[in-house]
Every structure is written in C-alpha cells, then in structure tokens.
Structure 1
Amino acid sequence: MDERSKLHVGLDVHKDSISVGAAEPGRERGRVVGKTAHDVNKLLKMLVKLGQPEQLHIVYEAGPTGYYGLQRALQAKGYVCEVIAPSQMPRRPGDRVKTDGRDCVQLAECSRAGQLRAVWIPDPADEAVRDLARAREDAVNSRTKARQQLKGFLLRHGLRYGGKTSWTIAFYRWLATLSFEAGASQTAFTEYWLAVQAADERVQRLTQALEASIAGWRFEPVVAALQALRGIDVVSAIGLVAEIGDLSRFDHPRKLMGYLGLVPSEHSSGDRVSRGSITKTGNAHARRLLTEAAWNYRFKARIGRQAQRRQEALSEHVRAVAWKAQLRLTKRFAMLLGRGMQPNKACVAVARELAGFVWAIGMAATQEKSAQH
C-alpha cells in the first residue's frame, strides 16, 4: 500500500499508559484517539478500530520501555511500527503546552509529513550482547566509585601509597599491611576493602561472560577485525559493535561520525559560518569507547606483542588498514598538539577519524564473511 494513503498513528508511551493519536492522509489536523494502560492486548483492541495492520503506520519515541513489550509485539501482529529518535523530533518554538495528547498527535502528523527518523532496532541476540556490555560498564563505574571511597578514607587518615600506580598487585599488598588503632576505623577500612574486592570480582565475571557471549554471534568476525586497531581490545570491540550494530547501514563513514556525535555543531547564516563543539548526539556509549581508544594514538606508531596476537588470524587487507590508521592518526595527534590544540580537543578530532577506520574495517570483515558463504 502507498505510504501516503496510510493512516499514521502516534503513540506517547509511558511506563503505565499509552496515548494514541492519528493523522488521516491529507492535510487535516490529527486527532486524539484515546488513552489506555500500557498493555499490548488493550492497545491492539484500540488499533483494530482504526483499520487493518497494513493500513496503519505506527510510530513512538524511543524510551526506557525497550522493544520487547511493544515494537516487537506490534511487528509480530503485522503492523509497521517505527521507533523514533527523540532528539530528531521537530519542536515548535512557540509551543509552551505539552501534554500526552498533544505529543501523540504531533508524532502522527510528523510521521505523515515524513519528518521523523527511525532508530535502528537490534535483533534480540544483538540486544542481549548489548545488555551484557552495558552491565559490565555499570560494574566498572561501581568499582571506580568503590575505589574512590577507599582512597578517600586512606587520605583522611594521612596514608598515601608510595608506588607509581594504584590498584596493582603491589598496591593490594600494601593495603594488607595497614592497621588502625581504633576498632571502628579498622572495621570501616575492611568494609571498604571488601567492597573493592567484590567489585573486582564482579567486573571479572562480567568480562568473561561478555567474551563468551559472542561465540557464534553474527558480528563475531567484525569484533575480531576491529581488534586490529590500536586501542581497541576485545571488550571495546564488543561494546562498539553492540552499540553501533550493522555498520553496513551507514553508506559513508561521515554518517557514522554524525551518528556518534563526533562532528562539530554549526550555526551559520548568510555569509557567516560558525562552528562549535561536537554535537554529542547519537550513541554516547560508542562515542566514549572511541574517545578512550583515540588516546592511544598520542604515542608513536608500533605494533606490540598483544596486537600481533590479535592480528594473527586476520586478513592482510584488515591488517593493512589498521597499520594505515596508526600512521595517519599518530601523525594527526602529534600535528594537532604541535599547533597548540588542547589535548582533549585533539583526542576528539582523532576519535572522529578513527570512526572512519572502524567503518572501513567493519565493512571489510562483513564482505569477507559474505565471500566465505
């Protein structure tokens, strides 16, 4: 059926309720259909009154409710349902009233006008890997907080580690030598230390589970290929692929850079061109992983022992692209620093170019996998 002849339906989805709006083909204003509890069966009864599944085009904004309960359930019933990026929703400057009814009607009208951009919806297997990757990231953040609390306790008691690096085997041995006269202080120290140890074990468990979860995954070759790049190990590669998904959906690396929010913002008018900081739109998890990897290019280009091991099973083409990335990005980082650019800005600029090499290697790995089959 022609998209222009469909009835466009907008859903304003909340944890406990769903408001439904509809926009008929043409230029008439949309209308509020009703409001129901967040229950798929009740929503389906309301949608049946609007038309057959092939007559409706349903949209709703991405949110914390996920895909399992709504989008996939509607898709299984034959409905065309898209999840919309909230940051891409048109906003009227003069609109000062926001209600659920207005929101669902605006979604329907914008869908009819073709102004909305749908987000990529992962397969259940892809989403499971992403859930595990984010669980590990949360565990790492919790461990960092536990470590800060322990070091804050030690600093209050005037204790400072004399070595160069904390959280090493030597640092843990130093912690084992500490003793406090007050029993309450000793108990507090022990609890802080046990919390850090428990956090370490949790991160280790999740790391092992994450590495095991990609066996047989459809993006496993892409994960292996991305590890050829400097600064990207198996955990970072899994995180990048789980967050970005199928790299082939970007027909040019610049679109991937824009998706990751690594391109500069711009506010130009007439002859005036004004560019500012990066947009920071899109996926923040993948942007952080790329930025962390980009810091490794401030050192001279080289292939270490671990990198050699990761590249052993990779094709010559992938290894060549990875080495080209090292030569270009290390030179780029040094040039930007030599011009007096602030290191953080230089790192973001390198991360933007690194995204292009991630796209190139991911596409090469996908093509090699297709050729094998």
Structure 2
Amino acid sequence: MNEITRVGVDLAKSVIQVYAVNGAGLRVTGRALRRDKFLAWCVQLPAGCLVAMEASSSAHHWGRKLLALGLDARIIAAQHVLPYRLQGRSGKNDANDAAAICEAASRPQMHFVPIKSVEQQSMLCIHRLREGFKAERTACINRIRGLLAEFGVVFAQSPEALRQALPDAMEDATNEMSGMVRQALQMAYEHWQELDAHMHQCDERIAAHGKASEQVRQAEQLLGVGPVTASAVVATVGDFKQFKNAAQFGAWLGLTPRQNSSGGKNNLGRITKRGDSYLRTLLIQGAKSIVLTAHKRDDPISRWAQALRERSGWQKAVVALANKNARILWAVFARGRAFDAHHVSTKPAGAIAVVIAA
C-alpha cells in the first residue's frame, strides 16, 4: 500500500472497484470492495495519495470523506474518462472504468470537478426538488385539460384561468361529465394544490438563502438574474476562482459556440450546451426577459442588448446576454468587485500600447 501514488475508483451502489498504480505508473492492485469496506481500505493509503472518481450521485459524498482522511480526492467528468479506456466502448466494465479513471487523473491538463460542500448540496437539493415539482405540476395541469376536453369543456391556456374555472366546471350539471369523472378531476385538482404548496415551500427556502448569503444578494443585482438564479449560481459554483478567467466560466456553462476549425479557418456553430443545464437554462430565461424589454431601459447593457437584437436577432442576443451575465458574475465574485450597471469596460494599458506599436 505504501507504493501506491494514484488510485482510480469506479463507484457503484454496493461494490466499488479500485485500480492503484505506483510512481512509475505500474499497476499495484486492482480489486472490488464492498461499500462498507471502501473507507477502511483507503485509510491504508499514504497521506496525500491521489484518489480519482468519476462524477456520479455519490462522488461528492465520498470526496468529502476522503479529504477528511488526508487524501487528495478528485472528481472527473464522465466524458473526460471515456478516451482513456483502452478497450473502447465495447469493453466497458467496472475494472476497465477504474483503470481509465486512474489514467485520466494522471493527465496534467485534466479538468477536475470541485467537490461540493454539504451546504452547497443541501441548497441544490431544494433546487432539484423545485424543478421536479414544477415539471410534475405542468404535467398535472395538462392532464386536467386533456380530461376536460374529452367532455367538450375547454378553457384558456393560462393556468390561472383554469384554476379559477375548474371548480365551477366540476359543479356544473349541464356538461357531460359523470360523477366518476368529477371525482377524478377533484383528485387531480387537490394534487395540483399540493404541488403548489411544495413549490411555495421551496421558494421560501430559496428566499431564505438569499437573505443569509451576501453572494446571493450580489448576484441578484445583475439584470436577468433573479433570486432562483442567484441562489443556484452560488450553490453550484462555490469558489469562482477555480476558473482562471470569465471566458472559461462561460465555456464551462456551455454558452460558447462549438468550433469546427482547421487550417487557420475558424468555423463557429451553436453553443456547446456543456456543463450544468439547469444553471444555463436559468441564465438564458433571465436574459430573455431583459432582451424583450431592453428598449424600455437606458443603461449600457440594455442598449447593447437592443442593438445586438436589431443586428443579429433576439435569440442570439439572448444567448449573448446570458454569456455576458456569466462573465460579470465571475468578475464580481472572483475579483471582489461590486456590480455596476453603468460600467464601461476599457482595454488594459498594455494592450493599447501593443496596438499602437503594431
């Protein structure tokens, strides 16, 4: 065990596969461990040993446990592990995956996933539940509309219009609905109300996060960043200094264009959509509201968004504003600067000198 310098771990529910190598990169051991035996095996590793895992539902939990043991725990995104599996896609199993993770962790330019704290994951649980309740509520509303349409009862598309008209429709004896249908609709309506209550509880938790966190309040100052987006950004990212610049943060969110460039010719396509889809969606939804109402404001960002919309269309303007907000968030938190909606960026003095010399 003292010879081991790097370990690749393939996590699972019951059995955890490990693959360990020494300083020369030669295999020392590879074995399967029961879940309750994994930490006892890790205790025997030398202090500071690199233990790499693939990103999964329990990776952050194990990462925190391994850090507490004095080990160098790292998490690698799944798409970065696949190229290092020697057997390719056709040779996927736990042992090969652990070996690929161990090899991927040795690359000097590998990007690792920061291990989230308990507080971060606790807040993200609220966001995930809220998204689940929201999707379930939409499905419930559509289900009610479909049942009503079977009996010729149709209302406006607005959920509020349906909410107001549904009780009267269930009591209306002139329509074709039988007693069995009315009971079914009553159950669906109660389920809808229950989901609304759950959503309200999640919103209260998110609002409490904003009151308790200075970072959340700073993020809310940006145009197009509301309480939900601000809370999600802070809970997801944590330390913004893990990104060396604002462009890297925007690329991490998947808001930069795909590249198919070769021979000095740059070909840019649609955005990559990498990273956290929930966070990217929130930023884009917030940017939509700002772009659509930019003509009503006179700050530099709104004028820029309006000019871009007229020049390139509102969809490109929305994505560009979402990317700009991501960059501003990085600047606010990584550099410790307050957000100023009327700030006008200038080129550094060194860059201006280079341009003049050229």
1-side partners of 2:334 and 2:70: how far apart?
32
2-side partners of 1:48 and 1:120: how far apart?
22
- Judged with a 3 Å threshold, the aligned counterparts in structure 2 of structure 1 residues 94 and 127 are, in CA distance, closer, same or farther, namely closer
1-side partners of 2:112 and 2:43: how far apart?
24
- Unaligned runs of 5+ residues in structure 2 are 339-358
Match of 1:111 in 2: 105
2-side partners of 1:280 and 1:48: how far apart?
39
> Is 1:269 the counterpart of 2:245 in the alignment?
no
Q: Equivalent of 2:217, from 220, 224, 240?
A: 224
Deviation for aligned residue 1:285: 1.2
Deviation for aligned residue 1:247: 2.4
Q: Equivalent of 1:172, from 163, 166, 181?
A: 163
2-side partners of 1:31 and 1:115: how far apart?
24
Q: Equivalent of 2:238, from 245, 248, 267?
A: 245
Answer 1 or 2: higher relative contact order, Cα 8 Å, separation at least 6.
1
- Judged with a 3 Å threshold, the aligned counterparts in structure 2 of structure 1 residues 127 and 323 are, in CA distance, closer, same or farther, namely farther
Q: Equivalent of 1:34, from 25, 31, 34?
A: 31
- Judged with a 3 Å threshold, the aligned counterparts in structure 2 of structure 1 residues 186 and 99 are, in CA distance, closer, same or farther, namely same
Q: Equivalent of 1:202, from 162, 178, 198?
A: 198
One-letter code of the match for 2:304? Answer: R
- Judged with a 3 Å threshold, the aligned counterparts in structure 2 of structure 1 residues 98 and 147 are, in CA distance, closer, same or farther, namely same
- Unaligned runs of 5+ residues in structure 1 are 304-321, 338-342, 369-373
Match of 2:142 in 1: 148
State the Cα deviation string for residues 303-327 of structure 1 (Å, max 9, x = none).
Answer: 6xxxxxxxxxxxxxxxxxx943333
Length-normalised TM-score, structure 1: 0.79
Match of 1:73 in 2: 65
Instruction: Give the SS at the match of 1:104.
Output: helix
Match of 1:133 in 2: 127
**Contact 1:60–1:82 (8 Å) recurs in 2:** yes
2-side partners of 1:201 and 1:160: how far apart?
26
2-side partners of 1:355 and 1:214: how far apart?
18
Q: Equivalent of 1:281, from 264, 267, 274?
A: 274
Match of 1:313 in 2: none
Match of 2:324 in 1: 353
State the Cα deviation string for residues 209-233 of structure 1 (Å, max 9, x = none).
Answer: 22124443xxx22211222233322
**Contact 1:264–1:276 (8 Å) recurs in 2:** yes
Instruction: Give the SS at the match of 1:83.
Output: strand
1-side partners of 2:137 and 2:18: how far apart?
43
Length-normalised TM-score, structure 2: 0.82
**Contact 1:31–1:105 (8 Å) recurs in 2:** no
Aligned length: 329
2-side partners of 1:175 and 1:100: how far apart?
53
1-side partners of 2:117 and 2:303: how far apart?
36
Instruction: Give the SS at the match of 2:60.
Output: coil
**Contact 2:4–2:46 (8 Å) recurs in 1:** no
- Judged with a 3 Å threshold, the aligned counterparts in structure 2 of structure 1 residues 81 and 10 are, in CA distance, closer, same or farther, namely same
Structure 1 stretches of 4+ moved >6 Å:
none
2-side partners of 1:17 and 1:107: how far apart?
16
Deviation for aligned residue 1:57: 1.1
State the Cα deviation string for residues 146-187 of structure 1 (Å, max 9, x = none).
Answer: 11111222233332225xx6122x542222221344112212
Instruction: Give the SS at the match of 2:202.
Output: helix
One-letter code of the match for 1:139? Answer: F
2-side partners of 1:29 and 1:272: how far apart?
42
Q: CA RMSD in A?
A: 2.6
Match of 2:114 in 1: 120
Match of 1:315 in 2: none
2-side partners of 1:344 and 1:153: how far apart?
35
Q: Between the two proteins, what is the percent identity of the paired residues?
A: 23
One-letter code of the match for 1:335? Answer: R
> Is 1:158 the counterpart of 2:152 in the alignment?
yes
2-side partners of 1:351 and 1:111: how far apart?
32
Instruction: Give the SS at the match of 2:231.
Output: helix
**Contact 1:9–1:22 (8 Å) recurs in 2:** yes
1-side partners of 2:232 and 2:279: how far apart?
7
Match of 2:179 in 1: 183
> Is 1:324 the counterpart of 2:300 in the alignment?
yes
